[in-house]
Amino acid sequence: MKFYKYHALGNDYLVLNPADFPAQATSACKLLDGPAGNDRTPSKWGSAPPSEAEVRLLCHRHYGLGSDGILWGPVETLDNVADAVGDRAKQDNAAQPRPNGRPRMLRIYNPDGSEAEKSGNGLRIFARYLAEHGLVQGDTFTLQTVGGLARVEIIDRAAWRLCIGMGRATFASAEIPVAGPSRDVLGESLDLGRDRHFSFCAASVGNPHCVVPLPEISEELARRYGPEIETHPLFPNRINVQFMQVIDRANIRIEIWERGAGYTLASGTSSSAAAAVAHRLGLVDSQVTVHMPGGTLEINIAPDWEITLTGTVTKVSEGQLSPDLFSFLDRV
């Protein structure tokens, strides 16, 4: 049961490859009742992704390895993905060329156990993992996520700097989704009660984002209001939150509260969404450097709103999961 840990500007992920987890007959309850023999391995992995509780445990900063999420792959199919989201992957699949053969698919899980449609840092990390293990050839290839196809280019293997095609940004309420009439969600007011409200825009790059432009931002602001906005009834699938300060026409700064993960030091899809919103509002040009507590990402916005993201990946460690780990499954 191997794991590989990486971070992208401090946004850390565990890569788990199904091939390292042969399907087990055990069930999670056997782990709770103690082992029959020494059989304490995760239930049914290999043929199916880890359960929500197993994801929460692995990502737990004390009982587990600690992580901002799990990258499960490569997998061959997006079976049992919710139709609505799966359809977008199928549309994207049909619409875009597949340079370099078959895409490799990965599933992305947040530390709360929820599944995410896309992760910009996760895609760069997974691309490095595949390249380091000879699971892809060459420097350009395609990855598939539940939120659509992503083209990868390894720009510099020494520095592990990669460019990812993040797909097309949309501001359409139905595609994000945002409740209410069909419209582009720009400059709307979000009432949080206690006479606190924010002007916001919303966007999707395969996963949903609420962007709050402000003259001043801080970690404290993200931690204080992020949870309320993430779970606001206006957002049926919850939402990632960015508080955004526009520095000049080529630089923005964001503080991030991620859906299902909380405060993070960096986020690829958040950078893409915030830069797209700033561009749509006419506040920045098409090449934007996004500054975050964990570092910077370069975002390019094409005239058709196709987003590309460029940044580095750092490897932290690799190792074996101990079966003992799963005896705390009932604590998370």
Told to check if 261 binds ligand API by CB under 6 A, we report: yes
Closer Cβ to ligand API, 116 or 276, answer by number:
116
How far apart are CB 137 and ligand API at their closest, in Å?
Answer: 25
Exactly one of 120, 177, 213, 226 binds ligand API (CB under 6 A); which one? Answer: 120
- DSSP structure string for 165-227: EEEE-B-BGGGTT-SSSS-B--SEEEE-STT-EEEEEEEESSSEEEEEE-SS--HHHHHHHHH
**Residue 205 phi, psi (nearest 5):** -120, 30
Residue 268 annotated in ligand binding: yes
Told to check if 269 binds ligand API by CB under 6 A, we report: yes
Q: Do strands 104-109 and 251-258 pair parallel, antiparallel, or not at all (unpaired)?
A: unpaired
Closer Cβ to ligand API, 26 or 311, answer by number:
311
Residue 259 annotated in ligand binding: yes
Q: Which of residues 272-331 bind ligand API (CB under 6 A)?
A: none
Exactly one of 26, 67, 110, 142 binds ligand API (CB under 6 A); which one? Answer: 110
Q: Are 191 and 197 in contact (CB under 8 A)?
A: yes
Q: Do strands 140-145 and 104-109 pair parallel, antiparallel, or not at all (unpaired)?
A: parallel
Closer Cβ to ligand API, 121 or 312, answer by number:
121
Residue 11 annotated in ligand binding: yes
Told to check if 122 binds ligand API by CB under 6 A, we report: yes
| Whole-number Å distance between alpha carbons of 203 and 57 | 31
Residue 110 annotated in ligand binding: yes
Rounded to 5°, the CA angle 136-142-148 comes to 140
Exactly one of 3, 11, 128, 288 binds ligand API (CB under 6 A); which one? Answer: 11
Exactly one of 119, 204, 245, 312 binds ligand API (CB under 6 A); which one? Answer: 119
Exactly one of 204, 242, 267, 312 binds ligand API (CB under 6 A); which one? Answer: 267
The continuous run of DSSP H or E covering 289 comes out as: strand 287-292
Q: Are 280 and 201 in contact (CB under 8 A)?
A: yes
Q: Which two tokens stand for residue 173?
A: 């309420």
Please report, for residues 4, 213, 273, 292, 303, the alpha-carbon distance to residue 289 in angstroms, rounded to integers and kept in the order given. Answer: 29, 16, 13, 10, 18
Residue with tokens 């380091």: 132
| Whole-number Å distance between alpha carbons of 183 and 300 | 25
Q: Which of residues 178-217 bind ligand API (CB under 6 A)?
A: 207
Q: Which of residues 225-254 bind ligand API (CB under 6 A)?
A: 240
Half-sphere CA count of 305, side-chain side, radius 13 A: 16
Which range touches ligand API (CB under 6 A), out of 15-23, 119-127, 286-294, 299-307?
119-127
Residue with tokens 């350009």: 140
Told to check if 258 binds ligand API by CB under 6 A, we report: yes
By CB under 6 A, how many residues form the interface with ligand API? Answer: 18
Return left, alpha or beta for 286; rule: phi > 0 is left, psi -120 to 50 is alpha, else beta: alpha
Residue 157 annotated in ligand binding: no
How far apart are CB 288 and ligand API at their closest, in Å?
Answer: 16
Which range touches ligand API (CB under 6 A), out of 31-39, 79-87, 190-198, 257-265?
257-265
How far apart are CB 236 and ligand API at their closest, in Å?
Answer: 14
Closer Cβ to ligand API, 74 or 167, answer by number:
167
Cite the annotated binding site by residue number: 11, 110, 120-121, 207, 240, 258-259, 268-269
The residues of the shown chain that bind ligand API, judged by CB under 6 A, are 11, 68-69, 110, 116, 119-122, 207, 240, 258-261, 267-269
